[in-house]
């Protein structure tokens, strides 16, 4: 089948390259965006996807090559210039001001002015219309920091939609959304393309992306390796062109016996932190043994994140008991629980897992600082050894411990967060959506790390909203629904059984 008609191309990259010193992020890429169509861009973390999109939206400048808009070369001065020309981007990592309201975030830098100043009433009315279109009941005056991660993602999407762009770049827009929220977003995308808006869609949720794409492009190591229309691609085509072989996410580690109960949760109750009159964790009990890998599956709002944060000490339960190796820890602080051997890899790595102003090495050693500190003195040699060992053990792709954390791809940043926790020598590791926003190759590496830890006696508990991730390395699958355990399965369970137990509407 022939490629799309060149007359339909509204924005194109021609031989675009981008270098950061000796690192070549893009190597002569040619990329077309077509009017009224969805172009899906696939690639592993570090393949150059986000770099290309930042160039096409004016965030950064290419080292060489040119950008063609409506058939004419253009140089974007900055993202505001690109936005004025009708190009908007929803970034992979949220760029919201948490202390400001939803309304103020959406209109930041382009306030609606009236005779006496900012017309807040009109801004609020427009936000309400945007939220209605996204089928979200979010008050425009709510501070963003009070919203859960998925709702913050909705605000980011609403901000891009509010500009009325003709080219909309979506970099991992569904990474924190529930299944129902994804369906609404896809309706919005279909409405936009019907009006002639061009969409560039980047996602590591491969099956999901296939639902809406018109054609797909694959980047690998900064080079475009494949292009095909929708009717010529499937999941195997994507994976083969992304990583060269059909990766899987592993199998439950075997060949050993589980140890004693490492984590015991008894009748745990957590009222809704937002003050609503119900429990987000409702009389939940669970035991996890040393060497066991347990997956907790549930839809958004099932209580998965709240359970993990209660176990880690970030939230305080109203009642119930948490034990680590038989000793009660409900009264302990987060730091004390880490010292005892229980630690959490949080869902939002940018906000809760990393310090953006620190280097890779500083982030890796942060949780273990007491191990090489005596009084006011820190052993630099011991710290550097821990950093080198952890970079090696969790296979972080980085020039070294001094590299800025922001220079790493999403998958490698996630491995830094996991490495930081593993360096504390935990007995129980909790991971809330550990694969959010990372590609299939990085997912396989993360699950391999967890399986290897389990073989050494580590108790692993991870949450996910992707059924395929339940059926990877987990010995046992716990399904949560409205704060309670609704079902428990072993590794032989089917996707349909798991989805049905979660209350998912389209389950068989």
**pLDDT of 153-201, one tens digit each?**
888 888 888 887 899 898 888 776 777 778 888 888 888 898 888 999 9
**Number of C-alpha atoms within 13 angstroms, CB side, residue 464?**
24
The closest alpha carbon to 133, from 160, 111, 114, belongs to: 160
Per the prediction, the chain carries an average pLDDT of: 85
327 pLDDT band, cuts 50/70/90, is very high
Q: What is the pLDDT of residue 254?
A: 93
* Least reliable range by pLDDT among 14-18, 92-96, 250-254: 92-96
Note the helical H segments in 281-436: 304-312, 334-340, 360-365, 380-393, 410-422
Judged against a pLDDT cut of 90, whether residue 48 lies above it is answered with no
The single-letter DSSP state of residue 4 is: P
Closest CA to 294 of 255, 262, 327: 262
DSSP-derived 3-state class of residue 91: coil
Q: What is the DSSP string of 398-411?
A: -S-TTSBGGGS-HH
159 vs 262: CA distance, rounded Å: 45
Give 293-320 pLDDT, tens digit per residue. 999 998 767 889 999 999 999 999 999 9
Q: Is the dihedral of CA 358, 359, 363, 369 positive or negative?
A: negative
Q: What is the pLDDT of residue 377?
A: 65
Instruction: Tell the CATH topology of 260-502.
Output: Rossmann fold (3.40.50)
Residue 426 has pLDDT above 60, yes or no: yes
Q: Between 504 and 489, whose confidence is greater?
A: 489
| For residue 2, pLDDT beyond 50 | no
| Amino acid 6: pLDDT | 47
Beta strands 215-220 and 223-229, pairing class:
antiparallel
Mean pLDDT of 115-134: 91
- Percent of the chain exceeding pLDDT 70 equals 93
Confidence at 508, pLDDT banded by 50, 70, 90: very low
The CATH class for the domain spanning 9-243 reads alpha beta
Judge whether 9-243 and 260-502 match in fold.
yes
The secondary structure of the chain in percent helix, strand, coil, rounded to multiples of 5, reads 35, 30, 40
pLDDT of residue 50: 83
Q: What is the dihedral of CA 230, 37, 465, 253, to 10 degrees?
A: 40
Query: What's the average model confidence in pLDDT over 13-31?
Result: 87
Residue 242 has pLDDT above 80, yes or no: no
pLDDT for position 79: 87
Query: Which of 89-103, 152-166, 324-338, 407-421 is the most confident on average?
Result: 324-338
Please report which helix (H) or strand (E) contains residue 33, including its range.
strand 23-34
pTM for the structure as a whole: 0.62
- b/e sequence 21-34, b meaning 16+ C-beta within 10 Å: eeebbbbebebbbb
- The residue that leads in pLDDT, 398 or 344, is 344
* pLDDT at residue 506, as a whole number: 42
Q: What was the pLDDT predicted at 244?
A: 65
Give the rounded percent of residues in the chain with a pLDDT score beyond 90: 39
Lowest mean pLDDT among 293-307, 345-359, 373-387: 373-387
What pLDDT does residue 330 have?
93
Q: Which of 360, 353, 503, 370 is nearest to 431 (CA)?
A: 353
pLDDT of residue 253: 94
254 vs 177, more confident: 254
Specify the pLDDT at position 257: 95
Residue spans per domain, the chain: 9-243, 260-502
**Predicted confidence band at 3 (pLDDT cuts at 50, 70, 90)?**
very low
Q: Two tokens at 344?
A: 């959490």
pLDDT category, 505, cuts 50, 70, 90?
very low
Question: For residues 362 and 446, is the Cβ–Cβ distance under 8 A?
Answer: no
443 and 249 Cβ atoms separated by less than 8 Å: yes
Which positions ≥6 away from 469 have C-beta within 8 Å? 249, 295, 435, 443, 447
Would you state the pLDDT for residue 7? 46
| DSSP class per residue in 187-206 | HHHHHHHHTT-EEEEE-S-H
Which pLDDT band holds residue 381 (cuts at 50, 70, 90)? confident
């Amino acid at each position: 089948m022939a490629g799309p008609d060149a007359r339909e191309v509204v924005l194109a990259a021609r031989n675009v390259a981008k270098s950061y010193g000796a690192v070549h992020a893009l190597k002569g890429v040619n990329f077309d965006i077509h009017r009224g169509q969805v172009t899906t861009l696939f690639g592993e973390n570090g393949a150059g996807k986000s770099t290309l999109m930042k160039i096409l939206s004016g965030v950064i400048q290419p080292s060489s090559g040119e950008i063609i808009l409506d058939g004419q070369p253009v140089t974007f001065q900055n993202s505001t210039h690109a936005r004025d020309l009708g190009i908007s981007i929803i970034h992979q990592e949220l760029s919201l001001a948490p202390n400001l309201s939803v309304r103020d975030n959406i209109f930041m830098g382009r306030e609606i002015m009236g005779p006496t100043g900012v017309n807040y009433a009109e801004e609020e009315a427009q936000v309400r219309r945007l939220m209605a279109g996204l089928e979200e009941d979010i008050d425009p005056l709510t501070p963003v920091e009070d919203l859960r991660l998925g709702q913050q993602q909705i605000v980011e999407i609403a901000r891009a939609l509010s500009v009325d762009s003709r080219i909309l770049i979506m970099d991992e827009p569904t990474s924190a959304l529930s299944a129902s929220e994804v369906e609404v977003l896809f309706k919005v995308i279909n409405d936009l393309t019907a009006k002639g808006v061009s969409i560039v869609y980047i996602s590591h949720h491969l099956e999901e992306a296939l639902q809406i794409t018109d054609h797909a492009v694959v980047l690998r190591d900064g080079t475009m390796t494949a292009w095909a229309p929708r009717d010529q691609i499937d999941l195997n085509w994507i994976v083969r062109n992304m990583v060269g072989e059909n990766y899987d996410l592993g199998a439950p580690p075997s060949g050993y016996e589980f140890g004693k109960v490492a984590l015991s949760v008894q009748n745990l109750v957590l009222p809704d932190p937002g003050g609503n009159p119900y429990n987000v964790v409702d009389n939940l009990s669970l035991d996890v043994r040393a060497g066991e890998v347990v997956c907790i599956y549930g839809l958004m709002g099932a209580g998965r994140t709240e359970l993990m944060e209660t176990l880690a000490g970030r939230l305080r339960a109203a009642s119930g008991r948490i034990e680590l190796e038989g000793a009660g820890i409900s009264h302990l602080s987060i730091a004390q629980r880490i010292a005892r051997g229980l630690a959490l890899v949080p869902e939002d790595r940018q906000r809760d897992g990393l310090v953006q102003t620190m280097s890779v090495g500083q982030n890796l050693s942060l949780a273990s600082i007491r191990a090489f500190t005596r009084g006011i003195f820190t052993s630099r040699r011991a710290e550097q050894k821990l950093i080198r060992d952890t970079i090696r053990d969790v296979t972080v792709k980085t020039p070294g411990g001094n590299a800025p954390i922001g220079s790493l791809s999403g998958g490698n940043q996630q491995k830094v967060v996991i490495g930081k926790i593993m360096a504390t020598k935990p007995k129980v590791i909790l991971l809330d959506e550990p694969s959010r926003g990372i590609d299939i190759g990085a997912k396989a590496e993360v699950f391999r790390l967890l399986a290897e830890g389990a073989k050494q006696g580590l108790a692993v508990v991870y949450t996910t909203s992707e059924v395929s991730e339940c059926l990877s390395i987990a010995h046992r699958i716990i399904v949560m629904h409205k704060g309670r355990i609704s079902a428990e399965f072993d590794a032989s369970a089917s996707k349909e059984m798991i989805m049905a137990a979660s209350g998912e509407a389209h389950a068989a």
